[in-house]
């Protein structure tokens, strides 16, 4: 039987050793590490169960396949309890055996990956409320939140969509003296302009056609708490002076009412737009901008947060695996590399959705590359572009520099101060470079950085 298995498995490409006696087999297992062990249940000098127990104690990552007599299910169950990976009944079907070996090798590889990930575990990430991450960019955010939270100062949160501005607002609320009050949020872009004033300030009965009863406004609901004005850059121009007056006077009057009431809510505004650019374009009032921009906290995009991508991905994996009642313990090294390479235009929200999808699709205890969205799988950044160009099409250093500046300006929505900071140069240097490129006016390049790049 051993000779038969030896010949058939070697023909399939396996390196095979065999012994007929249990003691000889145990000695061999003490000296060498095998990927898979196949043992009969009945051996001279010991049983297959002894082999299973010995390996479970000394080499727990070595899978064991036990061969049993036909119908001996009690022995098979005992073998599994002793640590066997699989069992087969005699007479042996070689196709079933090879399938069991492949399955055992896959499980061994998976356990080794899990062990390596556990050994290389990243130290627990710093957190603040629901915010997670230890990158330098996020530590700056944490520091600003802790310093400004105890005051009543108005805060402007800026950053791309999906970066977690509302989570920062919640952290400011919980860390402040307003934590006992309500946290109320309104998306200024989601409320029709003719209803926004009533939503914020409330109204009295009869103020307009459908005002059949008094209605409490959000500013009153957030009394002694926090009011988040999300997407403040979308607020209609005609509404902006009314908000400005409330912020200046710290008093609010319901629509159609005659009495002013104290406004005790802490105001936090959030935007993914460049409000300075909106002011220059006359789409946002300058006086309201300065009233909101007392302290500005910029939330960095996910692509600027380094290994926070993996920290967040592991956090989402644990959450969605628990919710789905699936055993998904981590992310394979290959999938981790894909996550780090991708630029995440949708930021944390996109990463969260991608991991939820991966947990739902994976058949393994580790999220694999094939479980990730197609865009993440196929993304290869600069390396792929570099492989596809020949020397005749290589860009000059000046062209590369110009494109990088244009990209920074686009991501900063034309804000030259933020673009210069991201590029690691001062604002004057950025202006000089913009003036030098083909004589293009810097205001035109800042307003539409890709326009200058088009032929």
Please report the domains of the chain, with CATH numbers, ordered by start residue. 2-119 (3.40.50.2300), 144-299 (3.40.50.300), 303-385 (1.10.8.60), 395-447 (1.10.10)
CB 194 within 8 A of CB 307: no
What integer pLDDT is reported at residue 450 of this predicted model? 37
**Distant-in-sequence, close-in-space partners of 384: CB < 8 Å, separation ≥ 6:** none
What integer pLDDT is reported at residue 390 of this predicted model? 44
Rounded distance, CA 228 to CA 198, Å?
16
Rounded distance, CA 287 to CA 291, Å?
6
What integer pLDDT is reported at residue 380 of this predicted model? 65
226 forms bridges with which residues in the sheet? 183, 266
What integer pLDDT is reported at residue 355 of this predicted model? 97
Q: Which of 99, 90, 92, 106 is nearest to 12 (CA)?
A: 99
Rounded distance, CA 162 to CA 304, Å?
14
Rounded distance, CA 310 to CA 331, Å?
9
**Cα-flanking dihedrals φ and ψ of residue 344, to 5°?**
50, 65
- Condensed to tens digits (0 to 9), the pLDDT of residues 393-441 reads 455 677 777 878 888 888 787 888 888 888 878 787 888 788 776 554 4
User: What's the angle, vertex CA 335, arms to CA 334 and CA 338, rounded to 5?
Assistant: 95
What integer pLDDT is reported at residue 262 of this predicted model? 92
- Condensed to tens digits (0 to 9), the pLDDT of residues 351-393 reads 999 999 999 999 988 999 999 999 999 886 544 434 444 444 4
pLDDT along the chain (455 residues), means of 10: 88 88 82 86 76 79 80 67 77 86 82 61 70 91 94 94 95 84 94 90 84 89 94 95 94 89 94 92 94 95 90 94 92 90 93 97 92 90 43 61 81 82 81 69 39 37
What integer pLDDT is reported at residue 319 of this predicted model? 94
What pTM was computed for the model?
0.61
CB < 8 Å & 24+ apart, contacts of 136-143? 137/300, 137/304, 137/305, 138/300, 138/305, 138/308, 141/168, 141/297, 141/298, 141/299, 141/300
Positive or negative torsion for Cα 444, 445, 450, 455: positive
What integer pLDDT is reported at residue 73 of this predicted model? 65
CB 426 within 8 A of CB 420: yes
What integer pLDDT is reported at residue 393 of this predicted model? 47
CB 196 within 8 A of CB 338: no
What integer pLDDT is reported at residue 452 of this predicted model? 39
CB 114 within 8 A of CB 329: yes
Q: Which of 176, 183, 106, 179 is nearest to 147 (CA)?
A: 176
């Amino acid at each position: 039987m051993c000779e038969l298995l030896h010949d058939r498995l070697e023909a399939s490409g396996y390196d095979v050793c065999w012994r007929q006696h249990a003691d000889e087999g145990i000695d061999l297992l003490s000296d060498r590490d095998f990927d898979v062990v196949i043992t009969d249940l009945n051996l001279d000098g010991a049983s297959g169960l002894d082999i299973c127990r010995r390996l479970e104690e000394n080499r727990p990552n070595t899978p064991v396949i036990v061969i049993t007599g036909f119908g001996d299910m009690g022995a098979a169950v005992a073998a599994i309890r002793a640590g066997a990976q699989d069992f087969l009944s005699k007479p042996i079907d070689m196709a079933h055996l090879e399938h069991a070996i492949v399955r055992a090798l896959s499980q061994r590889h998976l356990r080794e990956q899990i062990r390596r990930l556990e050994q290389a575990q990243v130290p627990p990430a710093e957190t603040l409320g629901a915010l997670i991450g230890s990158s330098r960019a996020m530590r700056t955010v944490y520091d600003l939140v802790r310093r400004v939270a105890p005051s009543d100062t108005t805060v402007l949160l800026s950053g791309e969509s999906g970066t977690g501005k509302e989570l920062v607002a919640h952290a400011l609320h919980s860390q402040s003296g307003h934590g006992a009050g309500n946290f109320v949020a309104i998306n200024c872009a989601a409320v029709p302009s003719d209803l926004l004033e009533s939503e914020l300030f409330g109204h009295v009965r009869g103020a307009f056609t459908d005002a059949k009863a008094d209605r409490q406004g959000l500013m009153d609901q957030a009394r002694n708490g926090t009011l988040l004005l999300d997407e403040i850059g979308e607020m209609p121009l005609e509404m902006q002076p009314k908000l400005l007056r409330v912020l200046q006077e710290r008093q609010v009057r319901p629509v159609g009412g005659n009495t002013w009431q104290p406004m005790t809510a802490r105001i936090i505004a959030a935007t993914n737009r460049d409000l300075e650019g909106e002011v220059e374009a006359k789409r946002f009032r300058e006086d309201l901008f300065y009233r909101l921009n007392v302290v500005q906290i910029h939330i960095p995009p996910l692509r600027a947060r380094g290994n926070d991508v993996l920290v967040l991905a592991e956090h989402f994996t644990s959450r969605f695996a628990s919710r789905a009642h699936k055993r998904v313990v981590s992310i394979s090294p290959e999938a981790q590399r894909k996550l780090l390479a991708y630029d995440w235009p949708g930021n944390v929200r996109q990463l969260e959705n991608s991991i939820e999808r991966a947990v739902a699709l994976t058949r393994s205890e580790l999220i694999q590359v094939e479980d990730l969205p197609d865009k993440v799988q196929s993304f290869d950044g600069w390396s792929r572009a570099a492989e596809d160009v020949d020397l005749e099409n290589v860009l000059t250093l000046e062209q590369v520099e110009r494109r990088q500046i244009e990209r920074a300006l686009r991501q900063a929505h034309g804000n030259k101060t933020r673009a210069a900071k991201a590029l690691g140069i001062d604002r004057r240097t950025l202006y000089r470079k913009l003036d030098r490129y083909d004589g293009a006016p810097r205001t035109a390049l800042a307003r539409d950085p890709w326009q200058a790049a088009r032929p």
